[in-house]
Amino acid sequence: MSKHPRRALPWLLTVVPLVLAGQAAQAEEGNIFTNIFKYGGTTVPPSQAAPLDEPYCPTVDVPEGGAALRNPPNASGTALRSQTTLGRLARECTRLQDGGIRVKVGIEGHVLLGPAGAPGRFEAPLAVSLKAAGKVIATRSRRVAVAVPSGAAQGLFSVIEDDLIVPAASAGNYDIEVRLGGSAPHHAPGRRKPAVPLATSEAPVAAPATEE
């Protein structure tokens, strides 16, 4: 009878440290096993900021008369040298920490030669605007460069306008507008700037031939 307690003593000494270690682990967000299960590691990761809400991101509008330009503006039949037309449009909206929205707009289009046209380098005016409550809150204008190679009937272009900012006060109700406008497209002197590939796209925009 006296031998049994002596044999049990080492086992009891082993259990006590394990219990104490378990209590210490529970004081730090569960234990090692729980941390691996919940966080994929033995330690608790630092807290992270909650993800921002999905921003309002309206489809891109093209106003009447803004989808195509003729060169010359009133030309028809054999007098038409070229026509510039918008194609696919895309947008991407990102919520900012201050509640505003950063908008990125992708634009594709082409220049089609008319009966009186000839291959070469062309430019066409392009404008991207953000509007809220009938007022322009951000705008970007450029002359889009596009080349029609020798032996081809048309040339394609793609553009990305980034960092268009919508203030927080207008983040829930604004419009995105893209249009061709200004003077008629013309041959562009000098070296053509490379086009930027379009990252994302949506359904093609109907672009009937119109005159300005």
- Residue-wise pLDDT for 142-186, tens only, equals 998 899 999 999 999 999 999 999 999 999 999 999 999 854 344
Distance CA 147, CA 188 (A): 9
Structure tokens at 147: 């080349």
Class assignment of domain 60-187? Answer: mainly beta
pTM exceeds 0.75 for this model? no
Residues 6+ apart with CB under 8 A from 138: 103, 129, 130, 164, 165, 166
The 10 Å CB-count burial string (b at 16+, else e) for 106-132 is bbbbbbbbbeebeebbbbbbbbbbbbb
Higher pLDDT, 148 or 35: 148
By mean pLDDT, which of 27-41, 46-60, 87-101, 143-157 is the weakest? 27-41
Residue ranges of the domains in the chain?
3-39, 60-187
